[in-house]
Amino acid sequence: MINLYIDFDGVIMNTIEVGYKKMDELGLERNVENCISFYGNLDWKKFLKECQEINNSIECIQKIVDSNLFNVNILSHINSLDEAIEKIKYIRKYFKDITFIPVPKKISKTKMVHTNGSILIDDYAGNLREWANEGGIGVRFSEKRNGKGFYAIDHLDQIIEFAKENISYENA
């Protein structure tokens, strides 16, 4: 089985879109410092209720699990312990056996898990570049199918066909 890591924000849920809208309403500039502070101080239980699943992500993740091709994990940057807790609770409503790995925002996702030969689905090309530089396979989640140099998907279950066409399972 191939290790598959799926980002949460901007891939499973539209937390980035909703968060940016709220920041705009508050007149906050979208720089790194403001984003870390804004997301770090959110009431994540309330916030996740305002957000929506992207392109049937939960159903798509179930299809990925059912394919038996991957060891599925959620790998998500976090800005607070509350954020990690609420994201885990959200995922646990649907999946009991998927590992959720919270990554402090100041640490690269590549430092938390073994990247070599593993797939990361992420909406942020910067994370994918780091992943690829560490021997991993980056797949960009983009509703506009803009890969920014990476293979792009707009529904998570499209990773199944990508893997069947591009990955040898003999060595996995």
- Asked if the structure places residue 64 within a domain, the reply is yes
Looking at the fold, whether 160 and 112 belong to one and the same domain comes out as yes
Q: What angle do CA 151, 126, 155 make, to 5 degrees?
A: 40
Residue with tokens 């949460």: 8
Q: Can you give the pTM of this predicted structure? A: 0.94
Looking at the fold, whether 62 and 126 belong to one and the same domain comes out as yes
The CA distances from residue 13 to 4, 10, 118, 133, in Å, are 18, 6, 22, 26
Q: Facing residues of 104 across strands? A: 78
16: enclosing H helix or E strand: helix 15-25
pLDDT digits (tens, 9 = 90+) for 6-59: 999 999 999 999 999 999 999 999 998 999 999 999 999 999 999 999 999 999
Domain that holds residue 32: 15-50
3-state secondary structure of 104: strand
CATH number of the structural domain spanning residue 157 = 3.40.50.1000
- Asked if the structure places residue 171 within a domain, the reply is no
pLDDT digits (tens, 9 = 90+) for 143-155: 888 788 899 999 9
- Asked if the structure places residue 44 within a domain, the reply is yes
Looking at the fold, whether 60 and 132 belong to one and the same domain comes out as yes
